[in-house]
Amino acid sequence: MDELIAAAQAEGTLTTIALPDDWCNYREMIDAFKAKYGLEVNELDPNAGSQDELEAIKANIGNMGPQAPDVIDVGLAYGPAAIAEGLIQPYKVATWDDIPETAKDPDGYWYGDYYGVLTFEVNKALVPVSPADWADLLKPEYAGMVALAGDPRSSNQAIQTVYAAALANGGSLDDAQPGLDFFKQLVDAGNFVPTVAKPGTIAQGETPVTIRWNYNALANRDALMGNPEIDVVVPATGRFAGMYVQAISAHAPHPNAAKLWQEFLYSDEGQLIWMKGYCYPIRYEAMKAAGVIPQELMDALPDVTGAVFPTLAQLEAAKALITGSWDTVVGVEVIDPDA
């Protein structure tokens, strides 16, 4: 480990990509890493999508400059895709064995870093009674209020939302069609707002009921500090867990810094920082058993018993179905409806 630290410090910099400050508390994670090891961290586009991250590696092959990312944090489906394109290199962190089998590539190319469940983020100033479950969203009192945090054709969060609705609507992880049906009902009832939900639109009231990952919703609630009041509701049924995975670029200009970063993320310290950001760290079960998690942190996280994790195959099948049929759900008009 000490050689790794020395080698990393010789490299001096780490280049990251797609790590927003408020996503799982990455701001504190990066600052803690910088303070502990004295490395610089060069943060590229925090708003990049998973596809952008792979593309950034591909485009920067041979570039040792600051545009080439060393490490990536992408959706689960992108792990195998990255291996297929030869973009990542294997590395097994010291705490490798604590990571559940279902959450890692056996050769160590990618492994899960954290997960969360989909929740309803509600602006209490405009919505006196929060919905408790998916079925509530269809009620007339939520007319023109329900929104997604993205487009299911390009946002992981949005497509998982449609997938998750299936669980509460008679479907299962193998059958995402009821999710599409649910959203069709939502649109027909007039409850759906098509605009992309952001903290601004939630606070302003255009999208007072937004479906997002619990860590994003809770972080937003904290940031708003009661102006307005935000309620974060875990649905009673249909609890859907989504996982992201960590990997090192095969063409990383600073491979040792990248490995040190991974070690930091998967150490108790790193995992707890993620927990402070309301994300469930991947080593949660092992750490809980070892008793290293402070009680307040565990209490701050929402109760997610019964949350289900889709496998890669299930994700692919659902993705194909949802992206293919989403336009029928939202009633795409070719002719100008005002004509």
Partner 1 sequence: MTAAVTAPRRRRRWGSPWAWLIFLLGVSYFVIPLIATIEFSLRAAYKDPVTGEFIRPSLAAYELVLKDPKFVGGLLTSFRIALITIAVSLLLLVPTAYWVRLKVPRARPVVELITLMPFVIPPVVLVFGLIRIYAPPPLAFLNSTFGTEAVLVGAYVVLSFPYMYRAVDTGLSTIDLRTLTEAAQSLGAGWPRVLWSVIFPNLRGALLSGAFLTLAIVMGEYTIASFMGTKTFGPYLSLLGQNKAYEPAAGSIISFAITWAAMFAIVIIGRANRGRTQPAGAP
Partner 2 sequence: MTAGSATSEAPGIRPAPRRVPLAWLGLLPFLLFSAGFLLLPIAFLVIGSFQTSTGEPTLENYSGLGDPYIVAAFWNSVTVSLISAVGGGIGGFLLAAAVVRGGLPRPLRTGLLTFSGVASNFAGVPLALAFVFTIGNNGLITLILKDVFGVSLKATGFTIYSQLGIALVYLYFQLPLMLLIVAPAIEGLRREWREAAENMGATGRQYWRHIAFPILLPTLLGTTILLFGNAFGAQATAFQLTGGTIPLVPVVIGAQIRGDVLRNQGLGYAMAMGMVLVMGVMILVYVWLRRRSERWLRS
Which residues would be at the binding site for partner 2 (CB under 8 A)? Answer: 48-52, 55, 74-75, 78, 81, 84-85, 126, 144, 147-148, 150-157, 159, 193-196, 198, 200-201, 204-206, 208, 319, 323, 327, 330, 332-334, 336-338
Among 204, 237, 311, 328, binds partner 1 (CB under 8 A): 204
Among 12, 190, 226, 331, binds partner 1 (CB under 8 A): 226
Quote the tokens at residue 67. Answer: 């545009």
Strand ranges inside the chain, DSSP E? 13-16, 40-43, 71-75, 88-89, 110-123, 146-148, 209-213, 230-233, 241-249, 280-281
Round to whole Å and give the CA distance between 206 and 169: 26
Round to whole Å and give the CA distance between 118 and 158: 10
Round to whole Å and give the CA distance between 103 and 246: 11
User: Does residue 196 bind partner 1 (CB under 8 A)?
Assistant: no
User: Does residue 22 bind partner 1 (CB under 8 A)?
Assistant: yes
* Single-letter amino acid code for the residue at 336: D
Task: Pick one of partner 2, partner 1, none as the site partner of residue 194 (Cβ within 5 to 8 A by kind).
Answer: partner 2
User: Does residue 95 bind partner 1 (CB under 8 A)?
Assistant: no
Task: Pick one of partner 2, partner 1, none as the site partner of residue 21 (Cβ within 5 to 8 A by kind).
Answer: partner 1
Quote the tokens at residue 256. Answer: 């040792």
Round to whole Å and give the CA distance between 27 and 196: 24
Closer of 35 and 334 to partner 2 (Cβ): 334
Q: How far is the CB of 55 from partner 1 (least distance, A)?
A: 6
User: Does residue 66 bind partner 1 (CB under 8 A)?
Assistant: yes
Task: Pick one of partner 1, partner 2, none as the site partner of residue 61 (Cβ within 5 to 8 A by kind).
Answer: partner 1
User: Does residue 12 bind partner 1 (CB under 8 A)?
Assistant: no
* Single-letter amino acid code for the residue at 216: N
Among 220, 246, 249, 262, binds partner 1 (CB under 8 A): 220
- Tell how far CA 185 is from the center of its chain: 26
Closer of 55 and 97 to partner 2 (Cβ): 55
Cβ-proximal residues to 56 (8 Å cutoff; 6+ apart), any chain: 17, 44, 48, 67, 68, 69
Task: Pick one of partner 1, partner 2, none as the site partner of residue 28 (Cβ within 5 to 8 A by kind).
Answer: none
Applying CB under 8 A, the span of 127-135, 166-174, 221-229, 320-328 interacting with partner 1 comes to 221-229
Q: How far is the CB of 300 from partner 2 (least distance, A)?
A: 27
Site string for partner 1, 45-64 (x = CB under 8 A): xxxx---x--xx-xxxxxxx
Closer of 148 and 265 to partner 2 (Cβ): 148
> Residue with structure tokens 């309301």?
278
Closer of 17 and 282 to partner 1 (Cβ): 17
Phi then psi for 90, rounded to 5 degrees? -80, 150
Round to whole Å and give the CA distance between 327 and 322: 9
Round to whole Å and give the CA distance between 81 and 245: 12
Torsion over CA of 80, 56, 149 and 301, rounded to 10 degrees?
A: 70
Q: How far is the CB of 270 from partner 1 (least distance, A)?
A: 21
Closer of 251 and 319 to partner 2 (Cβ): 319
> Residue with structure tokens 């970063």?
261
Round to whole Å and give the CA distance between 138 and 122: 15
Closer of 131 and 150 to partner 2 (Cβ): 150
Round to whole Å and give the CA distance between 286 and 204: 41
Q: How far is the CB of 27 from partner 1 (least distance, A)?
A: 10
**List of residues contacting partner 1 (CB under 8 A):** 20-23, 42, 44-48, 52, 55-56, 58-68, 198-200, 202-204, 219-220, 223-227
